[in-house]
Structure 1
């Protein structure tokens, strides 16, 4: 087995439509929505995996194996990727063999042959961003869907996928050190205003019983990168004002759960898809920290209209941490 698993315990085009098994709804020039069906009993189950694309190395293949086994038991409906999909510098083109070597040839279990909803990470921005957004990839592997920001709607939950990399100041401060593909982002301030405006409007209009926001960078984390101050200032107030239940991210190569002490918001990091950072964390005092694991693994979520079960699994499929949430069904005023 490759890599260490030691840990510290405490308008889309009509071509696109032919590739998807779900319904697309056009909302505006900037925001896209997709509908995903729930199971016959009204429930939904899915995986969250981040920071994975290393051609199977650093236990990526082993994590994929366990995802396949657990996915069969849970009969998952789809997979969420929290970004840094392809290392070290994203994809060079839509025909880059890294796509097949790190995705198609790795996640081969029948239970994982479902839709993958993906956001971009900072490493993805270091390659050809347009490649990951290209319909060509969906012709190569129909599971793939990656957009900058978008919404997935079901009968019981709405998922709001947010492009967080352009929020981080340091990526713009030393462009000679690391080059990023900012096409579609510049001018930056205008882009960020639009992202926040679209998210705020969508959250306000949502009547879903569960609201889950997904981005690459953490808002709160004790991992290597820690909290993202730009998201604390600009994104967090919007989430709290609109009663978001979960914020899920990657970026830190670990699994963790923090619970807000000022709102119902739960923070989950699932960035253990391949390379992990053993022992690289920051202590946190108080009641926010619920779980931290610095090895590889993934996260599963089972949802009904009123109940949620979140589970973190390690590289062997072992359950490391679980959380049960419940809430009353949404009723319109």
Structure 2
């Protein structure tokens, strides 16, 4: 899908203007005529179709058509094992354009970076030039998608993990545009706090790559719990959606309304690890699949699907009464 040169230049202008102003980039996405929004969420997928990535993509296409989705969210680790080598890396087409071919998936994809993306040429993956190859691909470090009833706050979580800086082992991380770490994190937290405070949307949803609460292999990310979670709680965030752990899960906070959703089953999965934490585990599936999110001003419906497109779990909440309803599988 080719985007016009004018559209490419417009997006580049938005990004440069936001950077110059020291604030998060904002993109607008219209709701359906009935005021609803329907999206798919997938993470940890970019393996050139292997490890059932193609099978998950097929089911995403079918569910996407059934729901008539508005866009797709990627929770990061878009290209394994080490990101992209440049804007001309064929892995972009082999892991993205040639895999997610269903008509229903020809919608905008809003993507954050994962730790594996940082192991490649980060600037290439962030470069709007990739949209000349496939116009769906909208990847930035941190940004906001405004949709009237819901604001999505996409946060760059990889720099938060101290071990990537101090003990990367055999991996190389591309910290261009990020170092020094402390300054970058401080500015990002300040920007997110300001944006969340200013939001008048009914729903506030934060998207990052790394887990905040998880019972799978990576578990909780302490740096996010210490630095990012207090800002989410203080500003009434409703959900934190992530990847990183290659599974599907839903955890409810015991001391706030925040719901944690992991959708990292886009390809390689089945880690065989389960370590409970102190919050309430509502659902855990150690396998491949993806998530749908349907929103109206009053209600959010979340569904997890497996690699065969079968419904694994459904959950809903109404915003104004804050009533939580768990549906049978």
Same fold (TM over 0.5): yes
C-alpha separation between the residues in 2 aligned to 1:143 and 1:317? 23
Contact 2:217 2:271 in 1 (8 A): no
C-alpha separation between the residues in 2 aligned to 1:14 and 1:229? 43
Deviation at 1:121, TM superposition (A): 0.2
In the alignment, is residue 117 of structure 1 matched against residue 110 of structure 2?
yes
Q: 1:176 to 1:295 in 2, by over 3 A?
A: closer
C-alpha separation between the residues in 2 aligned to 1:159 and 1:172? 28
C-alpha separation between the residues in 1 aligned to 2:59 and 2:35? 26
Aligned twin of 2:25: 32
Query: How do 1:270-309 and structure 2 match up within 5 A?
Result: 270-284=263-277, 288-309=280-301
Contact 2:8 2:129 in 1 (8 A): no
Q: State the number of aligned residues.
A: 314
In the alignment, is residue 322 of structure 1 matched against residue 314 of structure 2?
yes
Aligned twin of 2:325: none
Secondary structure of the residue aligned to 2:233 is helix
Contact 2:294 2:300 in 1 (8 A): yes
Aligned twin of 2:326: none
Deviation at 1:106, TM superposition (A): 0.2
Deviation at 1:123, TM superposition (A): 0.2
| TM value normalised by structure 1 | 0.91
Unpaired runs of at least 5, structure 2: 322-329
Aligned twin of 1:145: 138
Deviation at 1:30, TM superposition (A): 3.7
Out of 218, 225, 231, the position equivalent to 1:238 is 231
Aligned twin of 2:198: 205
Aligned twin of 1:83: 76
Moved more, 173-182 or 59-68: 173-182
Secondary structure of the residue aligned to 1:135 is coil
Deviation at 1:173, TM superposition (A): 1.1
In the alignment, is residue 172 of structure 1 matched against residue 151 of structure 2?
no
Secondary structure of the residue aligned to 2:62 is helix
Contact 1:25 1:34 in 2 (8 A): no
Deviation at 1:155, TM superposition (A): 1.2
Secondary structure of the residue aligned to 1:217 is coil
Contact 1:24 1:35 in 2 (8 A): no
| TM value normalised by structure 2 | 0.92
Greater relative contact order (CA < 8 Å, ≥ 6 in sequence): 1
Moved over 4 A (4+): 17-20, 23-27
Query: How do 1:63-142 and structure 2 match up within 5 A?
Result: 63-142=56-135
